[in-house]
Amino acid sequence: MPAASANPDFIIIGSGSSGGVIAARLSEDPNAKILVLEAGRRERSLRLAMPILFPFVMADPKFNWGYMGEPEPFANGRQIRQPRGKAIGGSSMINGMLYARGHPRDYDEWRQLGNEGWSYDDVLPYFKKSENHWGAADQWHGKGGPLSIKQQPKDSDLYRRFIAAVEKLGYPERDSFHRAEQEGWGPPPLCIHEGTRASTAARFLIPAMSRPNLTVETGALVTRIEVENGRAVAVHYRDHAGQDRRVTANNEIIVSGGAYNSPQLLHLSGIGPADELRALGIEPVHDLPGVGANLQDHPSVAMVLHALRNVTLTNALRLDRAALSALHWLLNRGGMIADMPVTANGFIKTRPELERPDAQCLFQPTMIGAQLWAPGWRKPKPDVVAMACVLLRPEGRGWVKLQSADPGDKPRILSNVLSTENDRAFFRRLIPQLREIFATSPLADVLGAEVMPGADVRTPDEIDAWVRTACNTALHPVGTCAMGKDAMAVVDARLRVHGLTGLRVADASIMPRICGGNTNAACIMIGEKAADMVKQDNGLAMA
């Protein structure tokens, strides 16, 4: 460590799922001086803590970068909304709280791509380190970590009917999707701590903020990283009052802005594809063609069916009952508000010969857009259940580019959903497969007609056409500063930006390939592992 100085030793840009964890872990060493620069604020709204309010929170511009994608060429030119958390805690403040790691093979593939230290055996200790599993610790699950994982209750009528139906069709019921076998259906694991959202803000960063060696500056939009003789030395940012500031780092700068903002910031700093940057009037500092390329996300559609009212969320959404639930939550953090309305989670194969599931499906007793109602005030929405259908390992690759050299401009985003024949064929297989489940009793006994895609969508061409109109992304962008050794790689296996010193990227953007499941847990793992690598490389105390 260098001699004591007024400057921070480490500057972390972004306090989200990865950055918040890195800051909490690095500040465990009282000799390391950490500065976190976060564009968002510290949010204290109870709405963010209430799990059931997720659909409203994710759409609220107050804590959201509010991105909108470019017209998607393979999805009828539609633009896909891309919410991203802008607050201490980043996207973990607005996400759906589903806990998933993906499949062990996903990480073994990262290792096979040349990334030493990233096989599943290597990363499992980091998943376990963060985890506070609802059950006992075992070979696969950690106990006592900051990130509480609870299991959704299994006692609803709809869950029992669903499991009985899928078991008839030969799918196993799984108590955990993170043991040796993943394929099957079961209650979803959720990042919820004592009835409240277990964001990285609540569970990692805010508890560490009383440490004198950790400063978290909010409302600080980083606009550029300054590179001198191949070394990242300083960060330029606009503070909460709109003042331009510059701060130098004694040791390292760590970029954790997420899969859209990290490449955007590198581009603004002249680090990226030189020709593209020049065309925008940015003087290239370091030609790195992979920055912003390789964008991957999970294409996703929702099937919707009518259902009997007593298995949907409608009864619970009657105003008087909802008010009682709110009181219940305020008094003891329990009841309906303390859970996500997801009945069952499935990892399934659309082709039996696959070595791992290629679909994740979430069965819900309602659909996005459900609202409170009361007789004489507002009619309830139709009684429906929904199934979110997610392609886990898409072949399609998109990109993130700059709109202009202005750091205040939103980045351009193209997810490129459905751009390959295999990605489209996946939905042609999955939709009939799920229809078979819906048609099996005792689930079928409480379901009615299909609303989406609808009974008239049957042939492969009809399914293709509907998917083009309905496909969004699951809001899991990754891969835009990919780790690797090839010409398009941006960071090495220790997350150091190729060709520069003093600069790492650590967040969703470093994943060379998207993991087969929701991405928050993987980003937290990346934060845990990055913190250890930074500690090792800078002689900090290992916890």
Residue nearest to ligand FAD (CB): 16
**Quick one: 147 or 158, whose CB is closer to ligand FAD?**
147
> Which of 108, 88, 98 is CA-nearest to residue 43?
88
Residue showing tokens 């219940």: 328
Q: Strands of 39-159 (E only): list them.
A: 67-68, 81-82, 131-132, 147-148, 150-151
Residue 95 or residue 312: which is nearer to ligand FAD going by CB? 95
Of 26 and 94, nearer to ligand FAD (C-beta) is 94
Shorter beta-carbon distance to ligand FAD: residue 30 or 153:
153
Q: How far is the CB of 529 from ligand FAD (least distance, A)?
A: 13
| Nearest-angstrom CA–CA distance, 513 and 324 | 45
Tokens read off for 427: 């939905």
Least Cβ distance, residue 416 to ligand FAD (angstroms): 18
The CA angle 477-286-33, to the nearest 5 degrees, is 70
Handedness of CA 477, 483, 489, 494 (dihedral sign): positive
Count how many residues are written for the chain. 543
Residue 505 as a binder of ligand FAD (CB under 6 A): the answer is no
Segment contacting ligand FAD (CB under 6 A): 81-89, 158-166, 409-417, 465-473? Answer: 81-89
Structural tokens at position 199: 């964001």
- Bridge partners, residue 307, by sequence: 447
The answer to whether residue 484 forms part of the interface with ligand FAD (CB under 6 A) is: no
Contact 507, 19 (CB under 8 A): yes
- 243, burial (CB in 10 Å: exposed 0-12, middle 13-18, buried 19+): exposed
Using the rule CB under 6 A, is 17 a contact of ligand FAD? yes
Q: Segment contacting ligand FAD (CB under 6 A): 118-126, 208-216, 224-232, 519-527? A: 519-527
Q: Does residue 317 bind ligand FAD (CB under 6 A)? A: no
258 or 380, CB closer to ligand FAD?
258
- Structure token digits, residue 205: 């960063």
Given the residues 133, 178, 298, 476, the one annotated as active site: 476
Q: How many CA atoms lie within 13 A of 429 on its CB side?
A: 15
- In the complex, the smallest distance separating the C-beta of residue 312 from ligand FAD, rounded to whole angstroms, is 21
**Stretch 24-53: interaction string toward ligand FAD, x if CB under 6 A:** -------------xxxx-------------
Q: Nearest-5° angle of CA 518, CA 523, CA 528?
A: 140
Nearer to ligand FAD by Cβ, of 38 and 358: the residue is: 38
Token code pair at residue 139: 């070979």
What string of H, E and C letters represents the secondary structure of 407-420? CCCCCEEECCCCCC
| Cβ neighbours, 10 Å, residue 338 | 22
Rounded to 10 degrees, what is the CA torsion of 142, 145, 147, 153? 50
Restricted to residues 437-476, the positions that interact with ligand FAD (CB under 6 A) are 475-476
Question: d(Cα 337, Cα 352) in Å, to the nearest integer?
Answer: 38
At closest approach, how far in Å is the CB of 52 from ligand FAD? Answer: 13
Q: Count the site residues for ligand FAD by CB under 6 A.
A: 43
Fill in the amino acid letter for 4.
Answer: A
- Annotated catalytic, 476? yes
Nearer residue to ligand FAD within complex by CB, 304 or 515: 515
Q: Per CB under 6 A, which of residues 219..278 are in contact with ligand FAD?
A: 220-222, 256-259, 261, 265
| Closer of 66 and 382 to ligand FAD (Cβ) | 66
Within 91-120, the residues that bind ligand FAD by CB under 6 A are 91-92, 94-98, 100
Asked whether position 519 contacts ligand FAD by CB under 6 A, the answer is yes
CA distance 414 to 295: 8
CB of residue 509 to ligand FAD, shortest distance in Å: 7
Q: How far is the CB of 475 from ligand FAD (least distance, A)?
A: 4
Which residues form the interface with ligand FAD (CB under 6 A)?
13-19, 37-40, 58, 83-86, 90-92, 94-98, 100, 220-222, 256-259, 261, 265, 475-476, 507-508, 518-521, 523
Q: Which residues are tagged catalytic?
A: 476
